[in-house]
Amino acid sequence: LILDGKSITLPVIEGTEHEKAFDIGKLRDQTGYVTLDSGYKNTGATKSAITFLDGEEGILRYRGYPIEQLAEKSSFLEVAYLLIYGALPTEAELSHFSGQITKHTLVHEDMRKIFDGFPSATHPMAILSSLICALTGFYPQSVSPDLSPEEMELNIIRLLAKMPTIAAWTYKNNMGHPLNYPRNDMDYCANFLYMMFSFPTEKYDINPVVVSALNKLLILHADHEQNCSTSTVRLVGSANASLYGSVSAGINALWGPLHGGANQEVIEMLEAIAADGGDTSKFIAKAKDKNDSFRLMGFGHRVYKNFDPRAKIIKKAADEVLQALGMQDSPLLKIAQELEQAALTDQYFIERKLYPNVDFYSGIIYKALGIPTEMFTVMFALGRLPGWIAQWKEMRENKEPIGRPRQIYTGELERDYVEM
Ligand code: MLT
């Protein structure tokens, strides 16, 4: 325990009354002392039964299920159900859940008026967060602090259903293309791809490999315990703000390049290496040179100290997508493979545990699908949505108090006001 900057060792004998008496958390609460760790910003105070993450061992589990099994065997909607309601759905539950979502995919036509006001240069995340917040105007009961379980359920369904429609609009706005209405005969991922890439004048063929890769990508991003956007959703929601308002805040947090921008940085790095002539050995040497500011993007991870469990799954999906789209020989992919090879075989990278992470591969898939880099965070938001909803719901159902991170004051203690 740190008290007044001094480390104190408390004698605690396990499993006795003694242990209870010296419960460190209790002692800290009782004495009112707090220690400052600005990296955590007090989010360690959150209890949650949703996602388990062990950064040392490279373990990620949703509600106890390993991410590897979920990505392999489940659909994104099954995982969304699991995160939000705590158990994998039965066949009947899943059919009801996806049926309800399909029923609500259309967005109110008056939302188009708000949407049409955005200049085409608007960043897709600005449109996404604005329109998600604007849903409160169309569903006023959603702002009530006393939602019945049925009302909460309907708000959740509406958000899951309308998010892909609005996300596809943001892309169409950037491109200046006509909007597509949702196709309710398609599943969640296929419908999203249809709304993104089809034109009224052309037949749209769904590629099952691409749909499967998108399904995996969304599952892998569905929750990641208390990251910046998720704790934002919980904190905003703890003031009894609506689900739509809280998720809108989370979207803005995710838009911050330090949180959601990693895969965009990977693609920009690969493009810069390609523009320079594609000599990866030159950039690997730069990465090793501590006097050079160049950094390899998409290697290592702040949370995972040994490997990112999501990376292996997504690497396989990336290989399958590139194969299915006949893009195995793309110059960007060649550069990515050479960097990946270096990271996995070169002692410098092995010793520093700089393995390729999930962002390294997700950007490659999105790029192959023709999704512009500005849309990468929108794709992340689409995946993270069930996690945000589950965390908001858990926080509300547990009747958690309003969040108020403590601060350590570092300014002047008291100053005399001198009139000018
Ligand atoms: C995430 O998936 O949210 C990112 O890896 C960031 C994080 O967990 O802090």
Q: What is the pLDDT of residues 136-176, one digit of tens each?
A: 999 999 999 999 999 999 999 999 999 999 999 999 988 88
- CA 132–ligand 1 middle distance (angstroms): 22
Which atom of ligand 1 lies at the shortest distance from residue 358's CA?
5
Within 10 angstroms of residue 209's Cβ, the number of other Cβ atoms is: 14
Q: Report residue 158: phi and psi, to 5°.
A: -60, -45
Whether the Cβ atoms of residue 178 and residue 385 lie closer than 8 Å to each other: no
What pLDDT is recorded for position 40?
A: 52
Ligand 1 atom 8 nearest Cα: 227
- pLDDT, tens digit, 9 for 90 and up, residues 284-331: 999 999 999 999 999 999 899 989 999 999 999 999 999 999 998 888
Tokens representing 277 are: 């002539």
104 belongs to the catalytic site: no
Residues with CB under 6 A from ligand 1: 224, 227, 303
**Which is catalytic among the residues 221, 224, 301, 308?**
301
416 belongs to the catalytic site: no
Tokens representing 15 are: 């499993």
Element (H, E) at 97: helix 91-103
pLDDT in tens for each of the 420 residues of the chain?
555 555 555 554 455 554 554 555 555 554 455 555 555 554 456 889 999 999 999 999 999 999 999 999 999 999 999 999 999 999 999 999 999 999 999 999 999 999 999 998 899 999 999 999 999 999 999 999 999 999 999 999 999 999 999 999 999 988 889 999 999 999 999 999 999 999 877 888 889 999 999 999 999 999 999 999 999 999 999 999 999 999 999 999 999 999 999 999 999 999 999 999 999 999 999 999 999 999 999 999 989 998 999 999 999 999 999 999 999 888 888 999 999 998 889 999 999 999 999 999 999 999 999 999 999 999 999 999 999 999 999 999 999 999 988 788 899 999 999 998
How long, in residues, is the chain? 420
**Rounded to whole angstroms, how far apart are CA atoms 95 and 329?**
41
**Rounded to whole angstroms, how far apart are CA atoms 341 and 344?**
5
Whether the Cβ atoms of residue 142 and residue 243 lie closer than 8 Å to each other: yes
- CA 75–ligand 1 middle distance (angstroms): 21
Residues whose CB falls within 8 Å of the CB of residue 58, separated by 6 or more in sequence, listed in order:
304, 306, 307, 308, 309
Tell me the β-bridge partners of 61: 52, 66
**Rounded to whole angstroms, how far apart are CA atoms 310 and 216?**
10
Best substitution site from 46, 227, 377 to test ligand 1's pocket, by max atoms within 8 Å of Cβ?
227
- Domains in the chain (CATH in brackets) are 2-35 (no CATH), 42-403 (1.10.580.10)
Which atom of ligand 1 lies at the shortest distance from residue 359's CA?
5
Ligand 1 atom 6 nearest Cα: 227
**pTM for the whole thing?**
0.89
The interface predicted TM-score (ipTM) is 0.91
Best substitution site from 217, 224, 301 to test ligand 1's pocket, by max atoms within 8 Å of Cβ?
224
| Nearest CA among 79, 95, 117, 380 for reference residue 259 | 380
Best substitution site from 302, 304, 313, 358 to test ligand 1's pocket, by max atoms within 8 Å of Cβ?
302
- CA 417–ligand 1 middle distance (angstroms): 45
Measured between alpha carbons, how far is residue 284 from residues 5, 89, 149, 263, 296 in Å? Answer: 42, 47, 55, 19, 8
What pLDDT is recorded for position 297?
A: 94
**Rounded to whole angstroms, how far apart are CA atoms 246 and 139?**
15
